[in-house]
Structure 1
């Protein structure tokens, strides 16, 4: 199934069951994630995708959108620094990536095409996270 065909729909529509409204005393992050589930996929930006990935929400829908963006801008700054969306993506559980082998391969290609300088400019541990993802991805082939 090509999850990118659903850009006009929301995660609440696609990733059933729909979530109920957050509790009145919910944290800002919980309220934000609930709100993002009601945004059309085509309207989700890099920061939104980073939040959803970090919270492991609807990854079969969120990761394809993320890879599509990273193909164009591998080091896009979502919220904090250049490459933060990429690092969030490679930190997604291996089980999520195993369900998306084609996207996994495309992201691996993006990562291996990055210059050494770009990788070195990532925050501490970033280069190792990318290397771990590439190694893990290659074992899935």
Structure 2
């Protein structure tokens, strides 16, 4: 009996943004640390990006179709994910996405809404979190209202 071959499936998470977008930026021509870090992160397999790198790239609007689903997975696991600066800064970057970008991707808005609700439930349990909660509430309100 002949064995049926399984189709070869390439996991896009093993590839870098440079590969996925087929766009090599080369060496940065501007010396800022943000530019340097964005360029470096674009060369890593996306599965290896840290929460901080995801936050940075998403806030710079780089690679969104590939990175937002990955960020949403991390936020599903922990809405308070700390990227670089504070608990929930990855969520803050996602909430700042342009409304037209969110509208183009099925399911993003609903997932973001669910994650934000869990964020508020969890942040309310932490002492000294009122300013974080209030800031995120403002960001979430802007997100819900399309800016």
Q: Report the TM-score, using the length of structure 2 for normalisation.
A: 0.80
Unaligned runs of 5+ in 2: 1-10
Larger Rg: 2
Aligned to 1:36: 41
Work out whether 1:129 is the aligned partner of 2:139: yes
The Cα offsets for residues 99-122 of structure 1, whole Å up to 9 and x where unpaired, read as: 222122112112123327268451
Return the alpha-carbon distance in structure 2 between the equivalents of residues 16 and 95 of structure 1. Answer: 23
- What secondary structure sits across from 2:61 in the alignment? coil
Number of equivalenced pairs? 132
Q: Conserved in 1, the CA contact under 8 Å of 2:124 and 2:133?
A: no
Return the alpha-carbon distance in structure 1 between the equivalents of residues 145 and 34 of structure 2. Answer: 32
Q: Conserved in 2, the CA contact under 8 Å of 1:108 and 1:133?
A: no
- What secondary structure sits across from 2:107 in the alignment? helix
Aligned to 2:18: 12
CA RMSD of aligned residues (A): 2.2
- What secondary structure sits across from 2:132 in the alignment? coil
Mean CA deviation greater in 43-52 or 89-98? 89-98
Greater RCO, 1 or 2 (C-alpha within 8 Å, sep 6+) = 1
Q: Given the alignment, which residue of 21, 27, 33 partners 2:32?
A: 27
| 1:1-141 correspondence runs (5 A) | 5-23=11-29, 25-113=30-118, 114-115=120-121, 117=124, 120-122=130-132, 125-136=135-146
Return the alpha-carbon distance in structure 2 between the equivalents of residues 86 and 9 of structure 1. Answer: 24
Unaligned runs of 5+ in 1: 137-141
The Cα offsets for residues 60-115 of structure 1, whole Å up to 9 and x where unpaired, read as: 11111100100000011111111111111101111221122212211211212332
